[in-house]
Amino acid sequence: METSILNPKSIAIVGASIDAEKIASVILKNLLEGGYNGKIYPINPKYVEIQGRKAYPTIIDVPDNIDMVCIAIPYQFVEEVVDQCVEKNVKTVVIISAGFKEVGGEGEELENRITEKLKNAGIRLLGPNCLGYIDNRAKINLSFARENPGEGDIAFISQSGAFCTAILDMACEKGLGFSHIISLGNKADIHENELMEQLFSDTNVKALALYLEQFTDGKEFVSLSQRAKKPILLIAPGSSEKAKEAITSHTGSLASSYDTTIAAVKKGNIVLAENSEELFALINLIHINILPKGKSIAIVTNAGGPGIIATDMVEKEGLILADIGEKTQQKLLGILPKETSIKNPIDILGDAKSDRYEDTIKAILDENEIDSILVLLTPQLITEIEETAQKIVEISKTSPKPIYTCFLGGKDIKSGQRILELNRVPFFNDIEEAIHLISKLVKFEEGTNKRKIMDVKEYIKRPKYKKEILRITKDNDITIMPDRLAIKILEEFKIDTPKQAVVTGIEEGTDFAALNFPVAIKATAQDLQHKTDFKGLYLDIRTITEFEEKFNELKETLVKVTGNKSSEILIQEMIDSKLEFFIGANREGDSDIYEEKGLGFGHLIAIGLGGIYTEVYKDIKHMLVPEDNMSVEEAIDDTKVSMIINGYRGKPKLAKDRLVDLIIKIQRLLVSYPQIVSMDINPVMLTEDRAVVVDAKFYLKK
């Protein structure tokens, strides 16, 4: 993105007036009071002067060139101003006004028309339906926010203007500044990805926080996140169907699958916040540069109960209680009363004063096994709250490891918290929150070392059956891939399958079965997608007589259910499986997703326990295509069924390496045939040396 489009030398504000409560007037006031030193032109035909600046009837009447035009007038009049912007040849338009795509119908048509006009003229657009933006280093406050907390080192991009104001209000209370605050609104043109790219290259930006309801191009978002050298914090609502409906009505955007979002967060090593308070807390922690290098944590407490709660949370959040080495234990024995526990958590007792806290923290700082320290304090009768806070402040100034504090209580601990806050020492008054956020930072830091960028182009191979696929793929309707073609494609990617044949007549079927007993016979995917629901599957057939009986029964069932008298039948050799596994996939985006112009996340793979109870147990993990072998294996190990795969209670291990290899091949299949909008491989039969696909359904859509 050009750096100039949000760094104008001149700004016109359309709609400014002498009415101080008008949005355009608030924007003009914020711009003037923010110290912007470029040229400012209020636009309103009713006035000669507004807020001490000469006003013009239209932007055409401004005698100078204009870099940026900010429009804050009723939506019915916006298009006329856009036409003037095209005539005036401005560089950027910021549309604050609402009433566009987010309301649908004529509003969406108007937005599309305006966007097209600006695009054809080479003019960039921020919004519409946005709060505006703030660039504190450039002293630009082109927003109608109530307050601006001032300059800082965190950038914040939000699709919701209201969410911007909420975060700004929190920041003003705490005195935490931002480098940039950019409200995207409907994202008709300027979007998060190009802003991310610019902000990542800005040396004054330490981290980026985002609120996104919809991703402009998910795969590019993940790619940018993987390459980022800075923390990315994200709130992405839409985990429920109701939330998705609300998103549609709010910005006119369709919500991505929340499972896709979670997979993207993991792949991009993004820190996911669950609400605005958590996002702000994470912003603050990163602002004061508190990032633990590992998951081993030491707990120092003056009360046993909080120490136990902290221990439980450490385990729950995937952290590790650090082992206190012999040398450090000897130090602690020399400075603590005999009754204290020198094991982690270190209970320094209720009569601990500030010096005992100080000595204990200093003693454990040199312990190699400790990555971070959490200091718990409860306000007991002789507890020196302010003095302890001051001691922690002094130690933190030179500590190579982050020290977190959790002062529990109400009015008595306020003065101590204030000392910690003023000296940029992270503090909490809730143990669960403290450890939950520490865990998120630990996972981010671990992810920076493990991050491996996968290029989807390396997975694509020239597909043998592209013509056949394109011939049956439709634009709007989903079609199911015929079993004969599905088998060929599985073979193309050297995927392990049973000996199998698709037949129409009993004679052909008998010939195949006689050579491969025991066998299973099934309805094809075109006739019955869920075979067990309609008795479309017969297993372990061992004789010709039994085969002919079941074959005819299945034929009759298919006639009753589908009306098709010439249905095909799938016959397979039986596989003696130790476990049934599931591999599914959904495509987020169109079939051009892996081309340069394609927008979306691509294929989301789901893996877990297979069989008829897949949807009951929901032992499922997700990953975005493509992932490498290590990430695939980690996803398998995250499932509960992995305990059986890895050999449970002395049982033999199953072929996990073959399963990993199968999932890698499935990834290649999906990106080579992007017309596959959905896939259901259930089950994969796992044995001690094979991972065999015995049932695969592929659904196609452009």
Distance of CA 438 to CAs 220, 267, 562, 614, Å? 28, 20, 57, 34
pLDDT at residue number 530: 54
Give the fold, CATH level 3, of 288-450. Rossmann fold (3.40.50)
- Tell which residue, 367, 357, 426, has the closest CA to residue 387: 357
State in Å, rounded, how far the first CA of the chain is from the last one.
30
Same CATH topology for 1-131 and 499-573? no
Both structure tokens of 663: 């999932």
Domain 579-700 has CATH 3.40.630.10: no
As a whole number of angstroms, the distance between CA 186 and CA 189 comes to 9
pLDDT at residue number 560: 85
Distance of CA 65 to CAs 37, 53, 77, 271, 468, Å? 16, 17, 22, 43, 57
- Tell which residue, 99, 195, 98, 121, has the closest CA to residue 156: 195
As a whole number of angstroms, the distance between CA 256 and CA 236 comes to 10
As a whole number of angstroms, the distance between CA 201 and CA 431 comes to 36
What is the tens place of the pLDDT at every residue in 299-350? 999 999 999 999 999 999 999 999 999 999 999 999 999 999 899 999 999 9
Centre a 10 Å sphere on the Cβ of residue 389 and count the other Cβ atoms it contains.
Answer: 27
Domain 499-573 has CATH 3.30.70.100: no
Find the DSSP H helices in 128-275.
161-174, 192-200, 218-227, 241-251, 258-267
CB crowding 18-40: b at 16 or more within 10 Å, else e: eeeebbbbbbbebbeebebeebb
Class of domain 1-131: alpha beta
Interacting residues of 449 by C-beta distance below 8 A, sequence separation 6+? none
> Quick check: 678 and 478 in contact, CB under 8 A?
yes
pLDDT at residue number 4: 61
Rounded average pLDDT per 10-residue block, the chain, 702 residues: 75 97 97 96 97 97 97 98 98 97 95 98 97 96 95 95 90 94 96 95 95 94 93 84 46 58 94 94 90 95 96 97 94 93 94 97 94 97 96 96 96 96 94 97 89 84 95 91 96 96 93 94 77 75 94 88 84 93 93 94 93 83 94 95 92 96 97 95 94 95 94
pLDDT at residue number 490: 98
Both structure tokens of 161: 């203007």
Both structure tokens of 71: 């429009």
pLDDT at residue number 107: 96
Both structure tokens of 193: 């990805």
Task: Provide the whole-model pTM.
Answer: 0.91
pLDDT at residue number 529: 61
pLDDT at residue number 324: 94
Where exactly are the structural domains of the chain?
1-131, 288-450, 499-573, 579-700
Element (H, E) at 677: strand 676-686
Q: Chain centroid to CA 380: how far?
A: 43
Centre a 10 Å sphere on the Cβ of residue 477 and count the other Cβ atoms it contains.
Answer: 9
Specify the length of the chain in residues.
702
3-state DSSP of 43-84 = ECCCCCEECCEECECCHHHCCCCCCEEEECCCHHHHHHHHHH
Q: Strand 271-272 relative to strand 232-235: parallel, antiparallel, unpaired?
A: parallel
Both structure tokens of 63: 């005698």
Q: Strand 49-50 relative to strand 124-126: parallel, antiparallel, unpaired?
A: unpaired
Greatest Cα pair distance in the chain: 99
Q: What are φ and ψ of residue 126, in 5° steps? A: -105, 125
